[in-house]
Homo-oligomer: A and B are copies of this chain.
């Protein structure tokens, strides 16, 4: 069943009204009409099964036939602090990490960043990529895309246990670090810091450590900058039991 995030004001007690550009997609691309069912999400964690009733050119109405808590949200709340990347790599990170279950993204400027700051066009494309990936992967809430920050600022705002994949010598393995984290919490919070193509500088790693951020190794193979965040988020969610429930 097709899934769609809508703003809260589109959803009344038992009815849903859709206007604007989504109409074209539902009517002409997906060819949905009266009698068809979709799932609407209000980004508060609820999902509504909706039967479409009237499908006009400018307005689409439906009635809510079921309301349930969306099942797709992990309890573990991961924030990915990701250095800007060249080309479409940042978009891949947003798409794949939304699928896997990252809760929020903070784009970050680091010493060795070669990618420029995103234009407003690019930011809007990034937002769309998150929405599409969240709908497709059955997330219950949209991951939040935060504003660009400088690396030092990121170190200061990073919450919960914080890890930083790094290729330095003698760095602890990611599993060793993850397994040592406390498990009592209901909704553990983890921050993951991933550098640009050229990696973090030694100075940056030292600065991060002074803020309690732990460098971790992801093993003997050297991952690309756009792969490291997905791998770190995957093993974190795995270690916290989030990849074990049935879909």
Q: Which residues of A contact B (CB under 8 A)?
A: 71-72, 74, 92, 96, 99-101, 136-139, 167-171, 173-176, 217-224, 227, 230-231, 234-235, 237-239, 241-247
| Nearest 5 CB-CB pairings of A with B | A173-B244, A219-B243, A167-B247, A137-B221, A235-B238
On whether the beta carbons of B217 and A246 are closer than 8 Å, the reply is yes
Please state if B237 and A219 are interface contacts (CB–CB under 8 Å).
yes
Are B230 and A242 touching (Cβ within 8 A)? Answer: no
- Chain B residues whose C-beta falls within 8 Å of the C-beta of A137 in the assembled complex: 221-224
Contacts of A72 in B (CB 8 A): 220-222
Report how far A100 CA is from B96 CA in the complex, Å.
15
Q: Is the CB of A247 within 8 A of B222?
A: yes
Among candidates B138, B168, B218, B243, residue contacting A243 with C-beta atoms closer than 8 Å: B218
Q: How many copies does the complex hold?
A: 2
A138 partner residues in chain B, CB cutoff 8 A: 220-222
Question: Which residue of chain B is the closest to A174 with respect to CB atoms?
Answer: B243
Q: How far is the CA of A138 from the CA of B224 in the complex (A)?
A: 11
CA distance A221 to B103 in the complex (A): 13
Assuming A99-B227, A138-B221, what are 7 further A-B pairs, CB within 8 angstroms? A72-B221, A74-B221, A100-B223, A136-B222, A222-B247, A235-B243, A238-B239
User: Whole-angstrom distance between the alpha carbons of A67 and B15 in the complex?
Assistant: 71
Chain B residues with CB under 8 Å of A136's CB are: 222, 224
Question: Given A167-B247, A224-B99, do A219 and B242 touch, yes or no (CB 8 Å)?
Answer: yes
Residue of B nearest to A175 (CB): B244
- Scoring A100, A167, A173, A219 by chain B CB atoms within 10 A of each residue's CB, the highest score goes to A219
User: A71 to chain B: which residues have CB within 8 Å?
Assistant: 220
Instruction: List B contacts of A231 (CB < 8 A).
Output: 100, 234, 243
Question: Is there an interface contact between A217 and B170, defined as CB atoms closer than 8 Å?
Answer: no
Cα(A219)–Cα(B74), bound, Å: 9
